[in-house]
């Protein structure tokens, strides 16, 4: 199963942005009504709590001042014998229903990606509470202090357990969105690829409960217990989650929900107890508070760690054969590590060129570099790359003439299978990959297969024309 593993960091202690100033945590849906869920009527986003983050000393507005509108859809897939992605139609055994959980949506500051402090990373977020197989409209509120290059992404709660895991499917809009305070931008559609599973007519959550197929280990060898202490001064509501992640910051893989009671100091406290496997060695015991009050543990929620004393992290802990009792989890509290791998981006970059220079192409030619979601064959319309790519960049003739190469870069999901290709539209008809037009495959693979990994990478592409498709023709013809 090719699943996205998100890189970079939640940093425990960063009070993150939310979707609005509604203190109930139940904002309007995309149609301006409802409780943020798609309750039989319109599609929508649920709002969160107050906006409390700051960006390098800059004051953010307390109400959203820009909006990105569009549509998000989940596309099912399987892997063929070569490990390539094949799309799957919505199966009959799903009975036309959506078996997964909600979709978390967010806008991310393109210039902040890779900032381990994550300060100012999040521009706003929302929830598609009850997604549908046909896709759902959204209107994403943003909090902007100035013009931003926003990355639009979504994460699917695959197992429907109200937790975004590091292994949950993610998707992004294929290009950065330039957005200013006061803007309402529309028409942004993207897909999230999710692996098909036969749930035997059940939801993913039902299948997990009955078959033990979600992220839980299923072990009951040892018990971890103690208190969750939320040490903020302005607690209003929201549950917490106590959980384990591994030393590679992947998880959660065992957890429990924690009811919180307000304290006299303005924070909140609750007790937790959950079971896990023995003899795990070093792991990290953490907690998250649903401070944006959207009934989902997501990347913008505040994090904490096991504390040996107030303000002092005790992670990692050693899970052996005895119970770990009276282990206090303090929220917020950083342990100096990056935290759960949950910001799903790396940058691909490089150059694209031709041995004899771009002037060997007909005047008016266009060059496209794209990381597509699947291996595309046949003639391809340029406009189709918006929907079918994780990232792409187009170079018009004035960018090419007189040069032998140009540099390209874009942001894509981390730890994800992509197909890196460059194409030349040599006749100006808005279609590439036609016989006789120049192409190049990246990733050191004739099919352009590339696993993005967890760090930025560089790839140089050299365009060349083929009168016939290189290698054996794929089923259905075309390249």
Q: Which fold has domain 222-331?
A: Immunoglobulin-like (2.60.40)
- What's the confidence (pLDDT) of residue 40? 31
Question: Which pTM was predicted?
Answer: 0.82
- What's the confidence (pLDDT) of residue 67? 98
Torsion of CA 451, 454, 460, 463, to 10 degrees: 30
d(CA 452, CA 347): 9
CA distances from 385 to 73, 174, 413, 441, 447 (A): 16, 8, 16, 16, 17
Give just the sign of the alpha carbon dihedral 81, 83, 84, 86: positive
Q: In terms of Cα–Cα distance, which of 343, 13, 408 is closest to 151?
A: 343
- What's the confidence (pLDDT) of residue 61? 86
Low-confidence residues of the chain: pLDDT under 50: 1-57, 116-117, 470-479
- What's the confidence (pLDDT) of residue 44? 35
Tokens coding 451? 């696993």
Q: Which CATH number fits domain 345-465: 2.60.40.2990, 3.40.605.10, 3.90.550.10, 2.40.50.140?
A: 2.60.40.2990
E-strand spans in 246-365?
254-258, 261-262, 268-276, 281-289, 302-309, 312-313, 317-319, 329-331, 345-353
- What's the confidence (pLDDT) of residue 120? 75
- What's the confidence (pLDDT) of residue 460? 97
Task: Kindly report, as residue ranges, where domains of CATH 2.60.40.2990 are found in the chain.
Answer: 345-465
- What's the confidence (pLDDT) of residue 35? 34
Main-chain phi, psi angles of 386, to 5 degrees: -60, -45
- What's the confidence (pLDDT) of residue 96? 72
């Amino acid at each position: 199963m090719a699943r996205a593993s998100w890189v970079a960091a939640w940093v425990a202690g960063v009070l993150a942005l939310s979707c609005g100033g509604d203190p109930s945590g139940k904002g309007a849906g995309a149609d301006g009504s409802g409780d943020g869920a798609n309750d039989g009527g319109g599609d929508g986003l649920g709002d969160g709590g107050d906006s409390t983050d700051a960006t390098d000393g800059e004051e953010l507005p307390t109400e959203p001042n820009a909006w990105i509108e569009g549509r998000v859809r989940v596309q099912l897939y399987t892997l063929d014998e070569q490990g390539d992605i094949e799309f799957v139609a919505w199966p009959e055994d799903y009975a036309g229903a959506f078996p997964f959980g909600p979709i978390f949506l967010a806008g991310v500051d393109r210039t902040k990606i890779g900032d381990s402090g994550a300060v100012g990373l999040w521009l706003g977020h929302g929830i598609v509470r009850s997604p549908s197989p046909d896709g759902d409209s959204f209107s994403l509120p943003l909090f902007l202090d100035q013009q931003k290059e926003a990355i639009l992404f979504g994460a699917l709660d695959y197992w429907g357990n109200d937790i975004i895991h590091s292994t949950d499917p993610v998707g992004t809009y294929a290009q950065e969105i330039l957005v200013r305070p006061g803007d309402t931008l529309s028409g942004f559609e993207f897909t999230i690829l999710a692996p098909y599973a036969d749930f035997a007519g059940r939801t993913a959550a039902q299948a997990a409960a009955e078959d033990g197929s979600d992220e839980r280990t299923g072990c009951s060898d040892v018990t971890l217990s103690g208190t969750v202490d939320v040490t903020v001064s302005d607690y209003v509501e929201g549950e917490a989650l106590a959980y384990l992640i591994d030393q590679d910051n992947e998880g959660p893989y065992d957890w429990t929900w924690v009811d919180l009671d307000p304290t006299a100091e303005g924070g909140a406290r609750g007790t937790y107890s959950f079971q896990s496997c023995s003899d795990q060695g070093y792991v990290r015991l953490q907690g998250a508070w649903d401070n944006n009050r959207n009934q989902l543990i997501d990347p913008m929620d505040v994090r904490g760690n096991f504390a040996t004393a107030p303000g002092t992290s005790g992670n990692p802990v050693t899970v052996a054969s005895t119970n770990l009792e009276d282990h206090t989890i303090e929220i917020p509290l950083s342990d100096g590590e990056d935290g759960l791998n949950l910001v799903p981006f790396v940058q691909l970059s490089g150059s694209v060129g031709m041995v004899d220079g771009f002037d060997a192409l007909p005047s008016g030619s266009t060059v496209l570099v794209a990381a597509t979601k699947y291996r595309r064959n046949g003639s391809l319309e340029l406009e189709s790359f918006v929907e079918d790519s994780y990232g792409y960049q187009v170079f018009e003739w004035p960018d090419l003439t007189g040069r032998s190469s140009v540099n390209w870069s874009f942001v894509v999901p981390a730890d994800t299978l992509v197909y890196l290709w460059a194409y030349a539209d040599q006749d100006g008809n808005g279609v590439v990959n036609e016989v006789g037009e120049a192409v190049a495959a990246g990733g050191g693979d004739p099919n352009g297969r590339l696993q993005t990994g967890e760090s930025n990478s560089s790839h140089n592409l050299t365009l060349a024309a083929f009168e016939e498709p290189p290698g054996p023709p794929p089923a259905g013809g075309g390249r």
